[in-house]
Chain A
Amino acid sequence: MAAIELRRAAAVPVAPRLERRLGRLPLHLVIVVICALWLLPSVGLLVSSFRPPQLVATTGWWTAFHPPFEFTLQNYRQVLSTYNMGTSFVNSLLIAVPATVIPLLIAAYAAYAFAWMRFPGRQGLFLVVVGLLVVPLQTTFIPVLHLFVQLGLAGTFLGIWLAHTGYGLPLAIYLLRNFIGELPKDMFESALIDGAGHWTMFFRLVLPTSVAALASLAIFQFLWVWNDLLVALIYLGGQPSVAPVTVTISNLTNSLGQGWQLLTAAAFISMALPLAVFFGLQRYFASGLLAGSVKG
């Protein structure tokens, strides 16, 4: 299926004319300003994570760049040596990877059916799925946990994979249905003429052409599951043997809020992996869906 890998035409090979450069100055300016604004809160956190807590409480983080330069690795040292931190990292991965993979494929099946198959009740059913996006998770906890207890799923990894799958599906189906629905009809028609069935069309046409959408969805779902605290506490419990990173981190502070300075370092430690995933998937975002398609 090399045909799909048509590249986009190289982006605007700019003639290096001064006029053009000056014209692009506002563009760079706007981007840089937005990026700076977006980065600012995180920089505050990052700098603070390397400062002694008494200083963080009494002076702004920017004063760290004036003498005396007082920095410390204490927060990181303490977080990394926290009891159970390593196990909970493994637990988080064990929760997040299946809880990302399962809904992704299931949603792709459903989205394909919604977008390219005709059946009675299709639009109505799809709207129900979208409408369920608005259901606040907390209203589902008691009935679902009740069910889990009866099925013996409470406190198991299988239980939490299923729960995250259920909660993640409406958004996944909605997003994918939109992307898959945008694919050109001709692509399917010519495949049909070649005698391809739905299986072939889905795995050989739809999946490869939806890589960007699947990659964005994967990163979102992964992040939500990775950062989830409440669903884990309800269905899995916070016992050390199963606790994900979020649970271990939230227990760094005591019931009166002491130890909050550790949260600064913990934030970066727990962000590291999802950001790596984002960078890893970056090239899929950039690759075009369908270049030179029939659409224009």
Chain B
Amino acid sequence: MDRLWLAAAVVAGIPLLLVGYITLAEGAVSRLPGRGSGWIRPWLWLAPGLFFITVFLIYPTVGTLRLSFLGPDSTRPVGLANYVFVFTDKSMLVALRNNGLWLVLFTLLTVGLGLLVAVLTDRVRYEAAAKSLVFLPMAVSFTAASVIWKFMFDYRPPGTPQTGTLNAVLSLIPGFQPRAWLINPPLNNVFLIVAAVWVWTGFCMVILSAALKGIPSEVQEAARVDGATEWQLFWRITFPLLGSTVAVAITIMVVFALKTFDVVYVMTNGNYDTQNTAFAQYEQLFVNHDFGHAAAIGVVLLIAILPVLAFNLRRFQQQESTR
């Protein structure tokens, strides 16, 4: 019973609290004399967000930065040794290589397929159903995904009934020998990426589709009347208008490619040269208890994202100058 009250209070109360906050803040600001209000207003709108981000992300990240120059138990300074480890250790080099593969394949496939599905389903009546199917994997939890992919990639020795979908389908080809998909590098990485693409394409599809709905249909209709083919229409009209959302999707997928850990953990546990940096960091943290190494990997990830940030900066400046 207590719980229901809590739930009701929270569901009704939290939005009220937040709306109340901004109303108060705006009220206060508009009473300030002219000059002050312009300066302080943005910070009042940002304050709740910045508070959470500071506590939950910036504060730990500053700690991470500090730990990355300390030894395994964070007691003595080791200079750049942890960074040297990241770029010289044999297993870290494999992880970095795998991250490169993830970065390219995962990003291309999720954004590409997400865009394809969003654009194609926009033209058919069963749009909602088709999109729901592609979205479905987003709802699958990490524990369930491990079972799902077991059924897909399972291996049984030749001559016995195959239980893995992939081997069974390929066995229809004469002369095909069943394979253990997840143990042979470097191809096993591709299968892990396939599993991750299956999950995240739905994400890209949803945000791209939402953007697509925002494009006024008159624009497209006008082009059609002018005799543009659907292909031209897409590349000349639709795609440029989707540009900023495609860039957002790419950015988010690049980030996920860098920090994906659960797929690796569930499917191969980083064995057979499938570890990536996020997984390596998890191992350093929870298996080796080497906080220095783990922190250095975290910092390297932050540095790796810098080019993406630069790209975003340019894009947002463009967005603002053209609107």
Contacts and interface: CB of A to CB of B under 8 A. Distances in A.
Interface of A: 8-9, 11-12, 24, 27-28, 30-31, 34-35, 38-42, 44-45, 48, 56-63, 90, 93-94, 97-98, 101-103, 105-107, 109-110, 112-114, 117-119, 122-123, 125-136, 138-140, 142-144, 147, 157, 162-163, 165-167, 169-171, 173-175, 178-179, 181-182, 184-185, 197-199, 202-203, 212-213, 215-216, 219-220, 223, 226-227, 229, 246, 249-250, 260, 263-264, 266-267, 270-271, 274-275, 278-279, 282, 285-293, 295-296
Contacts of B192: none
Contact of A271 (B113, B140, B222): B140
Contact of A97 (B7, B161, B313): B7
28 contacts: A27-B124, A31-B120, A41-B198, A44-B152, A45-B147, A60-B165, A94-B7, A103-B52, A105-B18, A122-B42, A127-B309, A130-B251, A130-B309, A131-B306, A131-B309, A132-B57, A134-B255, A136-B278, A138-B286, A143-B60, A162-B56, A202-B22, A212-B210, A213-B207, A263-B147, A285-B213, A288-B213, A289-B213
Contact of B165 (A41, A167, A260): A41
A127 B305 CA distance: 10
A166 B248 contact: no
Given A60-B161, A110-B50, A140-B60, A123 B148 contact: no
A227 B120 contact: no
A267 B221 contact: no
B7 A9 contact: no
B55 A147 contact: yes
Contacts of B255: 133-134
Contact of B216 (A122, A174, A260, A293): A293
B53 A132 contact: yes
Interface string B25-57: 010001000000001011101101110110111
A20 B149 CA distance: 40
B269 to A, nearest CB: 13
A212 B123 contact: no
Contacts of A113: 41-42, 45-46
B316 interface: yes
Given A11-B122, A31-B117, 18 more contacts: A27-B123, A31-B120, A39-B136, A45-B147, A60-B168, A98-B14, A117-B42, A125-B50, A126-B316, A135-B302, A144-B55, A166-B52, A174-B251, A198-B45, A216-B206, A291-B216, A291-B217, A292-B216
Contacts of A216: 206-207, 210
B289 to A, nearest CB: 11
B249 to A, nearest CB: 10
Which A-B residue pairs are the 10 nearest by beta carbons?
A166-B56, A267-B144, A110-B49, A289-B214, A113-B45, A140-B60, A227-B141, A117-B42, A212-B210, A119-B42
Contact of A127 (B124, B278, B312): B312
B127 A286 contact: yes
A28 B124 contact: yes
A267 B309 CA distance: 37
Contacts of B201: 38
Contacts of B198: 38, 41
Q: Is the interface of B mostly helix, strand, loop or mixed?
A: helix
Given A102-B14, A178-B248, A60 B163 contact: yes
Nearest to B122: A11
A180 to B, nearest CB: 11
B191 to A, nearest CB: 12
Given A44-B148, A109-B45, A264-B147, A278 B135 contact: yes
Contacts of B245: 178
Contacts of A279: 132
A94 B142 CA distance: 20
B18 A106 contact: yes
A166 B152 CA distance: 35
B209 interface: yes
Nearest to B129: A35
A102 B60 CA distance: 21
What is the size category of the interface that chain B forms with chain A? 35 or more
Contact of A11 (B43, B217, B285): B217
A42 B137 contact: yes
Contacts of B304: 134
Interface string B136-166: 1111111110111101100000000111110
Contacts of B285: 138-139
B88 interface: no
B301 A136 contact: yes
B73 interface: no
A266 to B, nearest CB: 7
Contact of A38 (B133, B295, B313): B133
Given A31-B121, A291-B216, A139 B298 contact: yes
B148 A45 contact: yes
Among A30, A125, A139, A289, find the residue whose CB has the most chain B CB atoms closer than 10 A.
A139
Interface in B189-224: 198, 201, 203, 206-207, 209-211, 213-214, 216-219, 221-222
Contacts of B14: 98, 101-102
Contact of A296 (B122, B165, B216): B216
A246 B144 CA distance: 10
Contacts of B133: 35, 38-39
A139 B278 CA distance: 10
